[in-house]
Chain A
Amino acid sequence: METNGHYQLPPLLEVKDFSLAFPSFKKGLRETKMEVIKKLNITIHEGEIVAVVGASGSGKSLLANAILGILPDHAITHGTLLYKGENIKEVLRGKEISIIPQSIHSLNPLMKTGKQVQGVIHQSDRKVVQQDIFERVGLPEDAENKYPFELSGGMARRVLAAAAMVSPAELIIADEPTPGLDPKVLKETISLLKQLAREGKGIMFISHDIDTALTIADKVVVFYKGETIESADAAAFSGKGERLRHPYSKALWNRLPRNEFFQREKEMEQKQQSGEMLEIRGISYKYGNGPYVFKDLDLSLQPGEIVGLHGYSGSGKTTMAKVMAGYFQPEAGTIRLGGKKIKKKGMHPVQLIWQHPEKAINPRWQMHKVLAETNMENSPLLNELGIQEEWLSRWPSELSGGELQRFCIARALHDGTKYLIADEMTTMLDAVTQAKLWEMVLRIAKARSIGVLAISHDHQLLQRISDRMINFNEINHVHES
């Protein structure tokens, strides 16, 4: 504990045995409680960055909401939340505790960014303070007179961070501020947060991505199935994780693509396989009258081959994936499967798996209906993908992102599927789930001779899984003309 003069200061934030539940109706009229957070303990001192790491859907964001006092009305909570040794009150929000939200949509679209940041400042010389902070976070001078939609994603994130920095808050909660950022912006965001910590603020960094968490945090709290199972120094995550106590946190570390990941078995190795080749010749695409997203793009996939496509966010990879899977019509060029054009009607032989499984599944459908879309309810594939019988009767909101993604994979691997495009399939998932999902997909792909195009910004991951790597900028000829 930090000492200050003669007495010990209480920690900035202390969460003791916190639990959170929602009432729910399982069957008929009996009311049961659904426990989301069971036993949670976190301590954050001044000037400390604590990362909270856990699978998506493990209740991390709910914890942030609980600290800010913005939980839904019907939530039932127990345990203590102490701020500087006292019970947390709602009045603290904004003054003592502030949040860097997950999404840049939290900015008001109809208000200039400079004004939005000024709104947080409680001093007289608002404009000066705001201009000063914009300079410090590296925003150009004219950014304050722009609306959020005129800024790039990275710049909008910096505005959000600036708003958190100028507020007098001493505790800052950063809720997944980094997903999908390219390395340069990621580095900047991290250095911003570190700067805040150096000024003596406590920071809670919520993330599913242990890799990023380790680069920034002093302490890592691992969150699993609603409990804190480990609270370790960042340095303990090294080697083979011998200094970690819980098997899950060990797995979380070891399953990173740069560590052990998973063992490729013999049958996962590349071998000559028969089947129809997917050939893409010179396709171009643009939205409306905008500039070309990509031009004269060539790509071919062999059956049973795993191809990694690497590129940074915003480079047009997703648009290309959608064109290949038949969502958009290309402006020019051809897509042929075994020398023939793909029919428009019926099940498309090229299936796309999306980054956000919760958007790819109708929230009003029970899970068995999702599988019924492609008659996969009784497929032996479900076992292979680790989908449990009991999940079939649940609603999508009751499953985690990793579990939902399994359903998306199962649905996409119907009998007519020849090729699979995985667009950042595991970006939103934790390392353990990521390794598990790729292991399953690889095994199924090799067994059924399905070609897989894996799209990601994560170079290490692609290197581990693919037989062949392609850089998106090399095949995209849009900047040459």
Chain B
Amino acid sequence: MNSINLRQRTLFKIALSLFFLLIVVIGGLFIGEESMRINMENKNSSPTLDHLFGTDWLGRDMLSRTLKGLTLSIGVGILAALSSTVIALCLSLLASFNKTWDRIVTWLIDLFLSVPHIVLLILISFALGGGFQGIVIGLALTHWPSLTRVLRAEILQMKSMDYVGISLRLGKTRLWIARHHFLPHVLPQLFIGFLLLFPHAILHEAAITFLGFGLPAEQPAIGIILSESMRYLSAGMWWLAFFPGLALLIIVGLFDVLGKNIKLFIDPFHAQKP
């Protein structure tokens, strides 16, 4: 047996990934405008000790821009994924209420899934005037259907369980059953759903920003950084895309580690398994 057991290892991993995420967010929040100032004397510099990630075509420090962009992207991702998950949970609970509601919810799911994400996203975000608010609402309103479908199936299965029937016969209300039977059961699915939505949301945010319907170009979102640097890649300025892209990858990976370990930690039935 190792000196540290599985539960301690799980906690350690959670703490480590949280720590890195916090560093990025705090770093991003405390970097002021001056470190991203335009400095034409030092433009297009490859990575040096002064500028670890190099500088861009306006001489702005890429490290600061990346951190700032990551913070913004994490913010957008978390907000959008969280509200999507909440929408999915509410709709799937609604679907469990009776047959009519189930039909309405399934119809809504089919409707939203039949239109490409990006089209709806552009429509909603454009109608709301774009910007941070527009893009978050747009993402939240387009990313719930697949998760809702999974949750609905889970809850329908739960509904036929003997213990749910017993609770009904003991005079419990539907709300009570939803809170005490369904919610604890779908919590792991909610977590996984949230995690899968997160990178999706960030990538869609980048895509729509690239098309000009999202965040304004002066904000250093990762999507904007990446799409701008595309033009300079052929000129051999690899660092412009490489470091921000790698950073985004690491952040998504960190979220994955965090989610997996939190699931291990809260689920009493898998806590023992390696």
Contact = CB atoms under 8 A, between A and B. Distances in A.
A364 B5 contact: no
A326 B273 contact: no
Interface of A: 22-25, 29, 31, 72-74, 325-327, 345-348, 351-352, 354, 356, 359-365, 369, 373-374, 395, 397, 411, 414
Given A23-B5, A23-B272, A359-B163, A364 B171 contact: no
Given A29-B8, A31-B6, A327 B273 contact: no
A72 B273 CA distance: 9
B32 interface: no
A395 B171 CA distance: 24
B11 interface: yes
16 contacts: A23-B5, A23-B272, A29-B11, A72-B273, A74-B272, A325-B169, A346-B171, A347-B170, A348-B171, A354-B166, A356-B162, A359-B161, A362-B180, A369-B180, A373-B170, A411-B170
Contacts of A345: 171
B68 to A, nearest CB: 38
Interface on chain A toward B: helix, strand, loop, or mixed SS?
Answer: loop
Nearest to A361: B163
A362 B182 CA distance: 10
Contacts of A395: 268
B186 to A, nearest CB: 11
A22 B169 contact: no
A287 to B, nearest CB: 14
B170 A414 contact: yes
B181 A362 contact: yes
Given A25-B271, A73-B274, A397-B269, 17 more contacts: A23-B5, A23-B6, A29-B8, A31-B5, A72-B273, A74-B273, A325-B169, A327-B165, A327-B169, A345-B171, A347-B170, A352-B166, A352-B169, A359-B163, A360-B166, A361-B163, A411-B170
Contacts of A369: 180
A74 B6 CA distance: 11
Contacts of B170: 347-348, 373-374, 411, 414
Interface in B144-175: 161-163, 165-167, 169-172
B179 interface: no
B109 to A, nearest CB: 26
Interface string B182-208: 001100000000000000000000000
A414 B167 CA distance: 13
Contacts of A362: 161, 163, 180-181
